[in-house]
Amino acid sequence: MRQLIAGNWKMHGRLADIAAYAAALRQAPSHVDLLVCPPFPLLDRFAGALNGSPVALGAQDCHPEAQGAHTGDVSAPMLKEAGASYVILGHSERRENHGESNAVVCAKTRAAMAAGLTPIVCVGETAAEREGGVAEQVVRTQLHHSLPADFSGVIAYEPVWAIGTGKTPTEADVAAMHGAIRAALVSQLGAARGGVKILYGGSVKPANAASLLALPEVGGALVGGASLKAEDFLAIAAGAPAV
Ligand code: PEP
């Protein structure tokens, strides 16, 4: 399976950054799929800059409803219209800063799928949960309540304590968690639906990308900070195993 390397720009980037970044991404290696998820106001301009390139565009959140009185929110059909084909949902920063429960993430996932977007649903344990020996249990619970029965999309395993910290789990821990996620997905969704891609996210850099991306059941990476520099993002993509 081709790996997916997704960049989460979070609340970074300005219109003036887009042209050079999109031009640099035209040099992307051909054995991986690349995705950039900038803030909402950059989507339309990014879509134009990426036109004709194989790099996909995504957003970082959507509302569960298609329209309505929800000041400050953006719906999945609006994202689709702006040129997005993916949307990141249930990122730990949204779960923590906006109080998003698994049920809310599930409703947003349904909305994304209904609008024809591919949801990237994020799960991951806190440091206290890992230290307490309940990381797999926490992630299984998140999957159970965040995914609709007809889920089709991508999962991102992002240990909360690894995001933006420079810390990563050991390779053995990543492999064990991805194996546990695969088993949970197959048991929850069935063999066919449970075969979705599972990305690893949390302090992926050019220096550690190749070893993380080579681990069993790792189908790509969700990259925050290192996706902001095209050079680093491309170096991470180059680390994906050949298919
Ligand atoms: C993220 O926020 O999805 C992420 C993985 O961030 P970073 O790569 O900066 O740890």
State residue 75 phi and psi, 5-degree precision.
-95, 165
**What was the pLDDT predicted at 235?**
98
- Is the distance from the beta carbon of residue 223 to the nearest atom of ligand 1 less than 6 Å? yes
DSSP state of 63: B
* pLDDT tens-digit map of 21-65: 999 999 999 999 999 999 999 999 999 999 999 999 999 999 999
Contact 144, 189 (CB under 8 A): no
Return the amino acid letter for 38: P
Are 31 and 56 spatial neighbours (Cβ–Cβ below 8 Å)?
no
Distances in Å between the alpha carbon of 39 and those of 45, 61, 219?
A: 11, 9, 24
The pLDDT mean for the chain works out to: 97
DSSP class of 164 = T
Q: pTM (2 decimals)?
A: 0.98
Tell me the mean pLDDT in the region 109-134: 98
Q: How far is the CA of 225 from the centre of ligand 1 (A)?
A: 6
Task: Name the residue of 204, 218, 228, 233 to mutate for ligand 1: max ligand atoms within 8 A of Cβ.
Answer: 204
Alpha carbon distance 96, 203 (integer Å):
18
- Of the pLDDT bands very low, low, confident and very high (cuts 50, 70, 90), residue 243 is confident
| Sign of the CA dihedral with 49 first, then 52, 56, and 62 last | positive
pLDDT > 90? residue 1: no
Pocket residue to mutate for ligand 1, from 4, 5, 9, 10, most atoms within 8 A of Cβ: 10
Q: Which residues are catalytic?
A: 91, 158
Question: For residue 153, is pLDDT > 90?
Answer: yes
Query: With a 6 A CB cut-off, is 139 part of the ligand 1 pocket?
Result: no
If phi over 0 gives left and psi between -120 and 50 gives alpha, with beta otherwise, what is residue 202?
left
Over residues 69-78, the mean pLDDT reads 98
